[in-house]
Amino acid sequence: MSEETREQETVATPPAAPKHGGFDPGLIRKLWIALGVACALPVIAELFVDRHHGHGEHFPVDWGFGFYAVLGFLACAGSILLAKGLGLFLKKNEDYYDHDEPS
């Protein structure tokens, strides 16, 4: 094997881009588990709480178990979509403040 061939074989390839923004995959897994637990706890707690306590339904569409979890998710998703829409509407150019003012 010639010297030139050996050099070509040992050329290092650039490292792959880190997954998860450079965070440890074990940490990412723990965060997903914590998110799942945080989402499941209110639904499980609903088994032990009398939501109506003699007052009837709070909303006409209050259909029962898990309603408030779904309502919270939809409210959060709606807030995100509203913010995205407002961001498109209110966005300014990158050089908005760099323009010279007329004298």
- pTM > 0.85: no
Residues sharing a CB contact under 8 Å with residue 20, sequence separation 6 or more, in sequence order: 28
Per-residue model confidence as pLDDT tens digits over 47-80: 887 766 655 556 666 666 777 778 888 999 999 9
Identify whether 98 is part of a domain.
no
Identify whether 4 is part of a domain.
no
Identify whether 62 is part of a domain.
yes
- Residue 1 CA to residue 11 CA, distance in Å, equals 16
- Predicted pLDDT at 19: 64
Domain that holds residue 46: 21-90
Identify whether 102 is part of a domain.
no
Q: Name the domain count of the chain.
A: 1
Identify whether 1 is part of a domain.
no
Identify whether 86 is part of a domain.
yes
Residue of 72 and 5 predicted with greater confidence: 72
Percent of the chain with pLDDT over 70: 59
**Mean pLDDT across the stretch 20-45?**
84
